[in-house]
Structure 1
Amino acid sequence: MLQTADRQGPWLTVVSGPMFAGKSEFLIALYRNLTEGRGRESEYIGVYKHALDKRYGEGEIVSHAGKRLPATPVGSAEELYTRIRSRGERVVLVDEGQFFLDADSDGRYVLVRVVSHLLGRGVWVVVAGLDKDFRGFPFGPMADLLALADERISLFARCAVCGAPATLTQRLVDGKPARVDDPLLLVGAEEAYEPRCRRCHRVEGDPQDARTTLFGFRAPDVSNPLTSG
């Protein structure tokens, strides 16, 4: 898994998957691998997470297995960039990349622009996050980052229902599947979310309406593969 530890910038690694797939644990193990025996060189490695993630407290990346790594919480992509520039970091690890939803005047995710700037400065950037939201749609800047990435690491969990490989995150509200028009952000832990395979994933409501809102067009009826629009 950690053969990626010999990378040098400019390089973008994106680690994606559903909740409980081990993304945070991957970052923690990568950091330890990078800093082991390097002394002062470790000062040039920055660890960040979005400030929205307060499930296990602030100031740390915490895996679902309980492993911990000190991290600087930031509230926006601009703040992230400012801190990295001021510290002169050459390797940057960012957790919860999907939460960086701030966009510029053209509607483009600022995190994508920030990562592009960092790559231009020779930085190795590692971003971990959910590639899909609770509905199964692309989550924030993650799709753009995956397209930009030099290295893509896709992690899987085990479906909480059938045990098959899980690529989706199931949101549960009072034990029932969330509605497709529910708020995008609802930070929780095991009591609110669980990994599901595509067969077992459930969302209440009409997903066609949400797809129209999200992408600006109405997706074809997936029940009929010959439907064109």
Structure 2
Amino acid sequence: MFIEPSLAGGRRGWIEVICGAMFSGKTEELIRRLKRARIANLKVEIFKPGVDTRYDEHNIVSHDENRIISTPLENSQQILLLAQEVDVVGIDEAQFFDAELPNVCDQLALRGIRVIIAGLDMDFQGKPFGQMPFLLAKADYITKLHAICVKCGNIANYSFRKSAAQDTVLLGERDVYEPRCRHCYYEEP
């Protein structure tokens, strides 16, 4: 269970990373934390990569269709320009951002900002995805979520791609991906 850190003793920033396979609830958890920050009257700015237009061009939308407004960006440096006088920054689909994202998050945390990041920790080949390994290394708090394997019902850590496409980035939903446990992931399709 995640325990929110205290701001007692002055304004200190930190980095939280929510990771896991597709359909594990990462975006749902990100939205939940951001809504709680707003309930606490904290100023929140939310960002997503401009490439992710699966559900909506501007909103971050979970698979359960829970949504929150965000700003789509072409690169992570824009976050530093847009996140002025905020308490909390939310970033979804972090694996799609550029190599500067870990440094941007460090700078935000040093400014006293709580940074909450959600993203896939592994790609469809089971390899570390994008900047996520670097963000996990810098994180003060990590939450790893699990989906349910569609083959056997055990916890799923892997995003199995059902198509033969080999591009690392292939946006899709249940038509293209399904969550699988380690055993079923490595089994023949």
Structure 2 length-normalised TM: 0.91
Which structure 2 residues correspond to residues 35-184 of structure 1 after superposition, within 5 A? 35-36=38-39, 38=41, 42=42, 44-84=43-83, 87-100=84-97, 102=98, 109-173=99-163, 178=164, 182-184=166-168
Equivalent residue for 1:26?
A: 29
Equivalent residue for 1:106?
A: none
Out of 156, 171, 174, the position equivalent to 1:187 is: 171
Describe the superposition over 1:176-223 as per-residue Cα deviations: whole angstroms up to 9, x where unpaired. xx36xx11111111101111111111499xxxxxxxxxxxxxxxxxxx
Q: Does 1:4 align with 2:4?
A: yes
SS at match of 1:3: coil
Alpha carbons 1:5, 1:33 under 8 Å: kept: no
The unaligned stretches of length 5 or more in structure 2 are none
Amino acid across the alignment from 1:3: I
Amino acid across the alignment from 2:12: G
Higher percent of residues as helix: 1
Equivalent residue for 2:185?
A: 201
Higher gyration radius (CA)? 1
**Offset at residue 80 of structure 1 (A):** 2.0
Fraction of identical pairs, as percent: 38
Structure 1 length-normalised TM: 0.75
Query: In 2 relative to 1, CA 9–53 (structure 1 residues): closer, same or farther, beyond 3 Å?
Result: farther
State the 4+ residue runs in structure 1 displaced beyond 6 angstroms: none
Alpha carbons 1:91, 1:123 under 8 Å: kept: yes
Two-structure CA RMSD over aligned residues (Å): 1.9
Query: In 2 relative to 1, CA 37–138 (structure 1 residues): closer, same or farther, beyond 3 Å?
Result: closer
Amino acid across the alignment from 1:70: I
Amino acid across the alignment from 1:129: G
What count of residue pairs does the alignment treat as equivalent? Answer: 185
